[in-house]
Chain A
Amino acid sequence: MTSSPSFRRRRAADRAVAALVRFGGVGVVLAVLFIAFYLVREALPLAAAPKLEESGRRLPAVAAPVAVGVEDFTEALWELHRDGRLVLRDVADGAELDAAAPLALGPGETVVEARLSPDQATLAVATSSGRLAALPLAFAVDYDDDLERSHRLEETTPRWLIEEGDGPLAAFSVLAEDATVWGAAVRGDGALELVRGRIKVNRLTGAERLSRKVLRLAEPGPITDLALLEGGAVLAGFADGGLAAWRADRPFNKLEECGRTPAGAAVRQIQPLIGAGSALVARADGAVERWMMVAPETGRPILDEAAEMSEAVPGLRLLAPSTRQRVFFALADRELRIGHATAAEYLAAVRLPAGVERVLPSPREDHLLLIGADWVEVRGLELGYPGVTARTLFARIQYEGSPAPAWTWQSTGGSDAYEPKISLVPLILGTFKGTLWALLPSIPLAVLGALFTARFLRGRAREIVKPAVELLAGIPSVILGFVGALYLAPAMQDRMLAVFLLPFVLVLLTVVLAVGWARLPLPSRRRLHEGWAPFLLMAVYAAVGAALLRAGPGLEQALLGAPFREWAPAALGLPFEQRNAAVVGLAMGFAVTPLIFTLAEDAFRNVPETLAEASLALGATPWQTSVRVIFPPALPGVVAAVMLGLGRAVGETMIVLMATGNTSITRLNIFQGFRALSANLAVELPEAPHGESLYRTLFLSALLLFAFTFLVNTAAETIRVRGRKEL
């Protein structure tokens, strides 16, 4: 074969186009893969376990201190000594940087024990004479000209909660809240005392004064440990393993018991967690439980067990809380477990050298101090994302302050001590709720409309209807969203009953009209034929629909005796919100219906005309033909259309964002809103700190959404292709 110039040119063009098409196709696949890869990469670190360095710097303590800790940068180590001196030393070489004696102990009085609050800002100090103080810890940083940091102690004043001692305290706890300092202790005489100290500042001099009130319980029982919880609640554990909680009554006259549990394994330690919303109870058998005060619907808060850690730690010696989250360190014989209180499980176990008596995380949680009798070792710590586990994402959890386990998404709160609630269940459920209520009316409307357009509508009407409906699909969803939120929601609120009756009324009307139509004499029927009857019907629909909606509020008053939004909660037990799933269903219907319609219409029209002819020639009515001959072969296409509609509804963001109220509830109630995965991403991702737990959790939810829409769309496409082959 000779290759003429024109042939070569055509071949070159052919190859160029083929390359371009291949580039486009491969490009799309790569883009999808890239998105999937990116989502996985951002979410994957969530799976990593906490890590502790294998070894660290060890420095000797000068004299065995009562308490040890580090400041923010883990560059300076502080020690509280028996004589009440506070010493700051360099972590690198052990050199003394600063020293102070803020406690001003009496003659012969020594510090017996000191306990650090979870946020490491307050030290509870008990003295040999039985006095109790809350000592604020503060460190200052100075920068020299080369930006080298140097550390010193900030001057602080102790707040004495028990000023008159009567022998060493058996157990004690201190809790500093905004302008209140709480103290609780078992005194030398065995009585339990709760002290409320209110900090009063003299506006003129700036001097602080502590105004104290004390409540006393003479014989509380053999308390082994106690802790103060939020609001001054005292949680105490007994030698027999029982627990009890007390609170001051309203006018602060007496201690009221608010919960007591039966005996069990002896209570070793009660350790409040950050924010003091809950406390961990360590028992002699190694079990660790989480207890909190919960407020029932009515009445006073009561003591409740929120969770028990998934496993017991053999040889458990003590617990240390982390400073920023609900992570805790459980020290056992030569082993350290890192656990998470919300997740109620241990995430890592580390072998430790001999002689470790205590452990303490640094304020920034980037180091862990292993404290021996006369040494301190500093090891690097990587907690990762301990609060994000399968349990916190998907299981019911009883969070601080809530009376029962629940699936909750409330990722951020007002304070640092807020317990993040990151259950994806309400979001997934919300997504499906929105999809369900959007598809429920859309599917019959779109599929029957498509069948009608493809098989019953004649002449030019058919050529007008499809593009018109497709035009609807082009409405930006943000417009549908604000129409839903600002117009539909308030309008539907007043005529919910009418909205629900509307489809039934219109169907009934159609049947009545159809029967009436069939009885009409032929000439008047003929006059209206050739495709104009549907438009007349639409006018009738519009008129009847408008009349029904206009009569809506009156109808509710007449039939229910009250507006529907008041009737539904009372009679059906379904709470009613203005921005609810019904509004979304309607607004999203405008986005989903045209999509399903146009694909289903194609499916119906693709059924060969010859099949319809054969059926009609056998004496089938058009309806029988549709049901028995058109529908079965079109079914794969229709299913695919519905699936693509489903995919659209699942991924839809703006409409659900604007019209739902975004409440992350787990009820399918159509009269309440919901929060969908997509809307949640739109709301929270811009606000989430880069690289933190929330950020990665959101990426995980994005991955979930991606996987779901990918699967649905792939399934739809597979069904469609298979259906096409069979036809």
Chain B
Amino acid sequence: MNSASASPASSLGGIAADAASRRPRLAAGDAPVIRVRDLDFFYGSTQALWGVELDIRRGEVLALIGPSGCGKSTFLRTLNRMNDTIPGTRAEGHVLLDEVDVNSPDVDVVELRRRVGMVFQRPNPFPMSIYDNVAFGPRLHGRARRAELDELVERCLKGAALWDEVHDRLKASALALSGGQQQRLCIARALANEPEVLLLDEPASALDPNSTAKIEDLIFELRGRYTIVIVTHNMQQAARVSDRTAFFLKGRLVESGPTEEMFTNPTRLETEQYITGRFG
């Protein structure tokens, strides 16, 4: 485990409070973008999620924390139906994106994934140029006009804080970038689809501290413009970047709330034990 779990909860609370003070306040009481109701999830006959109920508000950064195998990644992947790619999986209950159940037969999974972008734990740029990586999504969805793409690629690379580092070698292979740059490229690639929600599955866990800091800064930048759900193992990261935090344990959502509150004054014993490093 990282150093955060060894630190007392109060220091995490401090980080959260400090981060919160630097953030502009979001308009409270917005209708949530995603409402999850009574969600069960199965890998074959193994149940991985049990009755999860959670609201995700527009423009917030929600951190999902919990020990390994607690279902936080599974939960994240139900939001854009990425679990469909795994044979034998099944979701029951409701994941409502703007009040439409993403699992209903009327939902076009292509459109769903355009609206709900995703960035994975390991940077996975395509073996193509930086430009083509960013333009991949827009091209899929039929936006191929050169000028429009140029503008979009620049905007997304700037949005992912990568433009200054790569603007003079857009045609170079994406595989030549460093790990951190690759991950920011993956974020830029996801942004190019102009999603409403961005799912980040431990985006910094494979990166060095310096790159991690850049990713965190980026998440901070993106806050408000996109709704971000981030899975993280790193308590300090959760404290630094998120508005709200949800704690998962053994496939159940234990509790969720404003990050500052979760880290300073958790209501449940398991939460406190987890964030103070008692287990996990």
Contact = CB atoms under 8 A, between A and B. Distances in A.
Interface of A: 458-459, 522, 530-531, 608, 610-621, 624, 628-629, 632-633, 726-727
B190 interface: yes
Contacts of B125: 614
Contact of A618 (B88, B122, B189): B189
B113 interface: yes
Interface of B: 80, 82, 85, 87-88, 105, 110-114, 117-118, 120, 122, 124-128, 136-137, 140-141, 186, 189-190, 193
A614 B120 contact: yes
Nearest to B140: A620
B127 A727 contact: yes
8 contacts: A612-B85, A617-B82, A618-B190, A618-B193, A619-B114, A619-B140, A624-B140, A632-B127
Contact of B117 (A615, A618, A629): A618
A56 to B, nearest CB: 75
7 closest residue pairs by CB, A with B: A610-B124, A619-B113, A617-B118, A619-B114, A618-B137, A458-B87, A522-B105
B82 A613 contact: yes
B126 A611 contact: yes
A616 B137 CA distance: 10
Contacts of B85: 612-613, 616
Contacts of A621: 110
Determine which residue in A458, A614, A620, A628 has the highest number of CB atoms from chain B within 10 A of its CB, and name it: A614
A619 B111 contact: yes
Given A458-B87, A459-B88, A617 B113 contact: yes
Contacts of A614: 120, 124-126, 186, 189
Nearest to B87: A458
B34 to A, nearest CB: 16
A614 B140 CA distance: 13
Contact of B80 (A458, A522, A617, A620): A617
Contacts of B122: 610
Contacts of B113: 616-619
Given A459-B87, A617-B82, A619-B193, A608 B117 contact: no
Contacts of A624: 140
B197 to A, nearest CB: 12
A522 B110 CA distance: 17
Contacts of B136: 615, 618, 620, 628
Contacts of A617: 80, 82, 113, 117-118, 120, 190
A613 B120 CA distance: 9
A612 B86 CA distance: 12
Contacts of A531: 87
Contacts of A616: 82, 85, 113
Contacts, number: 68
A397 to B, nearest CB: 53
A612 B127 CA distance: 12
Given A614-B125, A727-B127, 14 more contacts: A530-B87, A608-B124, A610-B124, A611-B126, A614-B186, A616-B85, A616-B113, A617-B80, A617-B118, A618-B114, A618-B190, A619-B193, A621-B110, A632-B128
Contacts of A628: 136, 140
Interface centre among B112, B124, B137, B186 (most CB of A within 10 A): B124
Nearest to B127: A633
A603 to B, nearest CB: 14
B1 to A, nearest CB: 25
Contacts of B124: 608, 610-611, 613-614
Contacts of A633: 127
A530 B136 CA distance: 29
A148 to B, nearest CB: 84
Nearest to B86: A458
Nearest to A616: B85
Contact of A619 (B126, B127, B137): B137
A207 B69 CA distance: 112
A633 B127 CA distance: 7
Nearest to A617: B118
Nearest to B132: A628
B199 to A, nearest CB: 8
A391 to B, nearest CB: 51
A531 B85 CA distance: 13
A531 B88 CA distance: 10
A522 B103 CA distance: 12
Contacts of B186: 614
B120 A610 contact: yes
Contacts of A620: 110, 136, 140
A629 B80 CA distance: 20
Contacts of B189: 614, 618
A629 B85 CA distance: 16
Nearest to B114: A619
A158 to B, nearest CB: 90
Contacts of B128: 632
B118 to A, nearest CB: 4
Nearest to A521: B105
Contacts of B190: 617-618
A309 to B, nearest CB: 62
Nearest to B139: A628
Contacts of B118: 617
A632 to B, nearest CB: 7
A617 B128 CA distance: 17
A612 B136 CA distance: 13
Nearest to A529: B87
Nearest to B190: A618
Contacts of B127: 611, 632-633, 726-727
Contact of A530 (B88, B112, B120, B141): B88
A190 to B, nearest CB: 90
A620 B124 CA distance: 15
Nearest to A525: B105
A638 to B, nearest CB: 15
Nearest to A726: B127
A32 B154 CA distance: 56
A587 to B, nearest CB: 36
Nearest to B199: A617
B82 A618 contact: no
Contacts of B82: 613, 616-617
A613 B113 CA distance: 11
B126 A629 contact: yes
Contacts of B105: 522
B89 to A, nearest CB: 11
Contacts of A629: 126
Given A613-B120, A613-B124, A632-B127, A619 B110 contact: yes
B140 A618 contact: yes
Contacts of B88: 459, 530
B141 A619 contact: yes
A644 B113 CA distance: 40
A621 B189 CA distance: 17
Nearest to B104: A522
Contacts of A522: 105
Contacts of A610: 120, 122, 124
Contacts of B80: 617
Nearest to B192: A618
A611 to B, nearest CB: 6
B16 to A, nearest CB: 29
A530 B85 CA distance: 11
A615 B82 CA distance: 11
Nearest to A461: B87
Contacts of B141: 619
A459 B87 CA distance: 7
Nearest to B137: A618
Contacts of A459: 87-88
Contacts of B87: 458-459, 530-531
A451 to B, nearest CB: 16
Nearest to A610: B124
Nearest to A618: B137
Contacts of B137: 618-619
B75 to A, nearest CB: 16
